[in-house]
Amino acid sequence: MKSPSTPESSESVDRVIHEVDGIQEYDNKLPNWWLYTLYGAIAFAACYWYWFETARLGASPVEAYQAEMDRAAADQAMALTVGDATPEALAALAKDPNATALGKQVFVSTCAACHRADGGGSVGPNLTDEFWLHGSAPERIYRTIASGVPDKGMPAWQPQLGALKTQAVTAYVLGLVGTNVSGGKAPQGEREPISAR
C-alpha cells in the first residue's frame, strides 16, 4: 500500500508496517553495502571456525603466543655464550639483561613451585633474604643450583637445564638476593649479608 501523503520517494517506501503516535515506520529495503557486510561477516565466521576450530590449520592465539615466547627465549639464549661459571662471569651475567630475562623465565617455570615466583620461598628457602644454608657467594649459589641438595629436596638442575640456563637462572637469583620480598619464608641458615661477600 503506497502512502501518497509521505514526502519521501515512493520507490523506497513499500508500506507502513508500524505506526505509533503518528510516527510511521516503513519496510525499507536494507542497503546493499549493509547486507554485504553482514554476509561477509557470516562467511568469515564460517571460514574462521573451520580454520581454527575444526581443521586446526592455524595456531590459536595461545599457541601463537607460546611460539613467540619460545622464539624469544631461543634468541636470548643465542645472545649468550656459555663460559666457566667463575665468580666474575656470574657477576657479569647478573648484569646482562639477556641472561636475567632468560633466568627469570627459567625461574618462573622451574623454581617457583618451591621458591615462589618472587623468590620468597615455600618448600624451598627464601632466596631474597640474607640467610643462606649453602653460602651466598655467587659460585656457591651456582653450585647449589647446578648440583642441588638431593637429600633435602633440592634437585640438581644442571643435568636438566644445561649449563647456559643454569648460569642464567643463577644470574637471576643473584638479582633477587637482598630484595627481602614481603611475606617471605622465615630465615634459614647463616646470615651472610651482601656486603660481606
Using CB under 6 A as the criterion, which residues of the chain lie in contact with ligand HEC when the complex forms?
106-107, 110-111, 113-115, 123-125, 127, 132-134, 141, 144-145, 149, 152-155, 157, 169, 173, 188-189
Is the Cβ of residue 83 or residue 148 nearer to ligand HEC in the bound state?
148
Shortest gap between Cβ of 49 and ligand HEC (angstroms)? 41
Tell me the three state secondary structure of residue 25: strand
Shortest gap between Cβ of 179 and ligand HEC (angstroms)? 14
Helix, strand, coil shares of the chain, percent, nearest 5, are 50, 10, 40
Is the Cβ of residue 14 or residue 192 nearer to ligand HEC in the bound state?
192
Shortest gap between Cβ of 57 and ligand HEC (angstroms)? 37
Does the CA dihedral 157-108-66-76 come out positive or negative?
negative
The 3 state secondary structure assigned to 92-113 is HHHCCHHHHHHHHHHHHHHHHH
Shortest gap between Cβ of 45 and ligand HEC (angstroms)? 44
